[in-house]
Amino acid sequence: MQNEVWFRPLVWMDYRLAVLFTVILPLILLIWAFVQKAEAMQRLLTIYWRVSSLLAIAIYLLIAALPVGFIAGIMARILIPVALWFWVDLNEEIEDQPQYALKFAFNSWRWAISVYTLLGAIAQLPVLQCAVSRNAAADSLCRTWREPPILFKEYFHPNTTLQYLGFIGIVGLIAYLICLIYFVFIKLGKQGRTAIPH
C-alpha cells in the first residue's frame, strides 16, 4: 500500500499534463492557425492529431484492461515528437514565417510536448511489465495507471460495457497500425520527408 501511495499523484499529474499538452493546447493552436491562415502549422497540427490518436486508443484499451494499451501509450509518446519534427518542408515553411505570436506559441508548444512525451516514455518504461505480466490486474503499478482511464469511462461512457470499449480500442489500434504500415512502407518511399506531395 505504501508503494501505491507515493507514485499515484505522479500518475494523475501525468494524465493532467497529457490533457493540457496533447488536447487543449494543440486544439487552441489549430483554431488559431486557421484564423491566421497559417497553412504549414495547420498541416502539421493535422498530422499531429492523426498520430496522437494512438493516445485515445490506448485509453480505451486500458479501460478494458487490455495489456497492449500500455504499449500503445508508450508508442504514442515516441511517435508524437517524431511526427512534429519529421517534415522538412513544413519545418522550413514555419521557420520562414515572420516572427509573430502564433509562431512563438506553436514552437514553444512543439518543444514542450516533445520534451514531455519523450520524458514520459522513459518514465513509463517500468509500466511495460504490465503488458506481459500475468498478475497485471493485481499489481499496484498497473492498477494505478488504469485509474484515470476508468474515471474517463465513468464520465464519458457510464452505461457502456468494458468489453465494448475494449472492442473500440482494438478496432482503432488495427486501423492505426494499417495506416502506419501504409505510410512507412508505401507513402514514405514516394514522398520522403515532405508532407505535401509534389
Residue 1 banded pLDDT, cuts 50, 70, 90: very low
Residue 188 banded pLDDT, cuts 50, 70, 90: confident
pLDDT at position 23 is 97
User: HEC states along 57-74?
Assistant: HHHHHHHCCCCHHHHHHH
**What pTM was estimated for this model as a whole?**
0.91
Residue 197 banded pLDDT, cuts 50, 70, 90: low
Cα–Cα distance for residue pair 150/189, rounded to 1 Å = 40
- 70-94 mean pLDDT: 95
Q: What is the pLDDT of residues 144-167, one digit of tens each?
A: 999 999 999 999 999 999 999 999
Whether 196 has a pLDDT exceeding 50, the answer reads yes
